[in-house]
Amino acid sequence: MVHEQSEGVARGAAWEDPHSEPARPPRILVADDQTEMRTLIRKMLVRRGYDVVEASDGPDLVRVLIEGLTAEESRAPDLIITDVRMPGFTGLEVLARLRREQWNTPVILITAFGDVHLHREALRLGAACVLNKPFDMDELRGAVEVALAVTRE
């Protein structure tokens, strides 16, 4: 199941021209098979002014990505937050495929099973960061801000 929610323009969005539309808020795709975790993350992101799309498993995540890329007006995410262990495809498999396709969207991996090998592999594949569950929402918020700032440079 995919859920989209946006509450207006991102905080601090600047108007270039008083007669033009404001820049769209960054779109973040959140993928986790645990509904409670997705909901917590979505609520935090929406409060911060982000446009959030949810995916409940690996195949759902891939479908949302494909739909975003093929939409008439690009609806591709600016950032992906994904659990490592999900039904269908793991977060690492999705990250590896994105990089093979030379898609550079930043990816934040979240996991309850983070060992040294996983962290190394994720960073080798180009993950923005890996957060071990349970994590503090302020830690995730900071990781989101850093990942989005890097893409704007």
CB–CB of 27/77 below 8 Å?
yes
Nearest CA to 27 out of 73, 90, 84 is that of 73
User: For the CA atoms of the chain, what is the radius of gyration?
Assistant: 15
pLDDT above 60 for 23:
yes
What are the tens digits of pLDDT across the range 121-150? 999 999 999 999 999 999 999 999 999 998
Rounded Cα gap, residues 38 and 29, in angstroms: 10
Q: Which CATH architecture has domain 25-152?
A: 3-Layer(aba) Sandwich (3.40)
Give the Å distances, CA to CA, from 131 to 31, 47, 110. Answer: 14, 21, 5
What are the tens digits of pLDDT across the range 75-125? 889 999 999 999 998 999 999 999 998 888 999 999 998 889 999 999 999
Beta-carbon count within 10 A of 80 CB: 29
CB–CB of 99/125 below 8 Å?
yes
Parse the chain into domains and list their residue ranges.
Answer: 25-152
Rounded Cα gap, residues 84 and 4, in angstroms: 21
